[in-house]
Structure 1
């Protein structure tokens, strides 16, 4: 993985005006080599700066999501395997809102495609999925590109404080209501 990433970095640096295109392609193929999103976004910040690196990462992450959408439609087994992982993280909940999904996408411990699978299941088609994938890709792309070095080199205490901050944000943006069906509210206990 390190060799591939180093070779890719060197290739992108030497490719001149095609570098943004190759960087976006790196985002799409990174999943084959099990390279985390965080590392690719860090490379984007290193190569292109915060603004352009963030833009290219957003485009790349959205492209990855659209490719994943197609793969799940063509090979349903991919989605079935990720459903178990999704159930582990989300505990069967299906009512996350868009700001919560943005925060979840920033957490490096949650697999990128678990969030994509959730978006596939909660959207009505490719157009809505693409729009939401684009929006959900903005926070991690900007955060990892702009502050990647700072996050990567934080001591353990700083990492814990940052994770706690994300958890507080996640809880602040949750839905404040829950729906209970009539039958569920008035269900009778059987002796």
Structure 2
């Protein structure tokens, strides 16, 4: 009982500290923080990393800290200190979430949320790497959310440190360039342009990774062969419900999720994060858009069926023209 009471007290203190930090975050003076760190002398890097780690746990904006690190320590050392401080904070938040609530989550989670959690755990370090490179959720919140899973701590730490590097380099250099702009340093235009180029690269990462994860295209013959041989393949039809039942019909065993609903129903597809998904529509236009969505959300083996149901019908292959419930997805759930 005493241990449980102590845990609740610690949780209440942490929640209060986070609430106060969020409430007064707009009053934080970045200039005063930089001055305070500079006055620490040789201990400045260590003090900065400690502040960054605590700020991460308490939901301070990481971008502000990263810019400050670049201004204080330059592009090279600043990147190292920023990345190390952010990773320490991320690990602390991960461990705090696991200490306080992981057992409760294991007992209470069910339905779609349980399947989503299991899908993330099956992805493991790959999921951590993906969301660090392509930030789908706020950084501070994600640290706590991942602590609710059974992803190994070492995998989480390594993937976090390595995959936050591109963003850390870009924002650290931006902070450095900002300091140079204020000080009127030499080569200012080149430094600003380089900072903007680094930010552009980071901004392009989600689209690039999404394209890399789309996988190759698939023709009708290849689709038919894989449907006959491969039980794990999900055939996802992204046409509207009316088109799914229309004269072109649909393929037996396919799952119909219209493109317009795909993003809101991604939790239903979590079991297929690392399994093959074939996308089909009337031609292949909607399928290509769906592939971009799935690729950017971490699905690793996505294929666009070229020609779609139009080509399937031209090949005189069997179709159904009435809606049938797909048992394919349900079998693995």
The structural deviation recorded for 1:103 is 2.5
Higher relative contact order (CA 8 A, sep 6+): 1
Classify the secondary structure of the residue corresponding to 2:215: coil
Distance 1:113 1:181, change over 3 A: farther
User: Which residue among 76, 86, 90 is the counterpart of 1:61?
Assistant: 86
2:173 corresponds to: 146
Contact (CA 8 Å) 1:100, 1:174: kept in 2 or not?
Answer: no
Deviates more, 1:181-190 or 1:162-171: 181-190
Contact (CA 8 Å) 2:129, 2:159: kept in 1 or not?
Answer: no
The structural deviation recorded for 1:44 is 0.5
Deviates more, 1:1-10 or 1:133-142: 1-10
2:199 is the counterpart of 1:174 = no
Distance 1:34 1:100, change over 3 A: closer
Contact (CA 8 Å) 2:101, 2:148: kept in 1 or not?
Answer: no
Distance 1:113 1:175, change over 3 A: farther
Distance 1:93 1:128, change over 3 A: closer
Q: Which is richer in helix? A: 1
User: Which residue among 4, 9, 32 is the counterpart of 1:7?
Assistant: 32
1:41 corresponds to: 66
The structural deviation recorded for 1:27 is 0.9
Whole-Å separation in 2 of the counterparts to 1:103 and 1:184? 26
TM-score by length of 1: 0.67
Output aligned runs, 1:31-180, within 5 Å. Answer: 31=56, 34-76=59-101, 94=120, 100-105=130-135, 110-116=137-143, 117-118=145-146, 121=149, 123=151, 125-148=152-175, 149=178, 165-174=204-213, 176=215
The structural deviation recorded for 1:39 is 0.8
The structural deviation recorded for 1:97 is 5.3
* Bigger Rg, which one: 2
- RMSD of aligned residue pairs (Cα, Å): 4.0
Distance 1:76 1:33, change over 3 A: closer
Classify the secondary structure of the residue corresponding to 2:34: helix
Unaligned runs of 5+ residues in structure 2 are: 1-24, 179-191, 217-229, 236-251, 255-323, 326-333
Q: How many residues align?
A: 170
Contact (CA 8 Å) 1:120, 1:129: kept in 2 or not?
Answer: no
Q: Which is richer in strand? A: 2
